[in-house]
Amino acid sequence: MFSFLFELIAGLFGSVGNSDTLNTKKIDQNIERLNQYDWFKKIYEDEEYHRLFFVNKHVRRYLQSTIRVRKIIRSKEARRKLLYLLDKEIKS
């Protein structure tokens, strides 16, 4: 419980500073966390989406939030939003 609150507060303060900076280490950790689930592995290994996880700033910013990643793990609706973002970024 305390670690969740700490991450929430740290995330809020972290976003106040330089909002254009991506935390690569945190993003990579969150991708590793998601990669523990078969449904994500299928997406991640799909050639069409794979590159987005490395080069697309919108996808990487989306996955920078540990709270959002936890929600993606728990909620089918949050997974749909992730897929929507990936599809949107492929088309742009």
pLDDT tens digits, 21-71: 899 999 999 999 999 999 999 999 999 999 999 999 999 999 999 999 999
Q: Is 23 left (phi over 0), alpha (psi -120 to 50) or beta?
A: beta
Confidence (pLDDT) at 86: 97
Q: What is the DSSP letter of 86?
A: H
Q: Is residue 61 part of a domain?
A: yes
pLDDT of 8 strictly over 80: no
Q: How confident is the model at residue 17 (pLDDT cuts 50, 70, 90)?
A: very low
What's the token pair of residue 6?
């700490």
Q: Is residue 83 part of a domain?
A: yes
- Cα 10–chain centre separation: 17
Question: How many CB atoms are located within 10 Å of the residue 60 CB?
Answer: 20
Q: What is the DSSP letter of 63?
A: T
Q: Is residue 74 part of a domain?
A: yes
**Domains identified in the chain, total number:** 1
Q: Is residue 78 part of a domain?
A: yes
Structural domain that includes position 49? 22-91
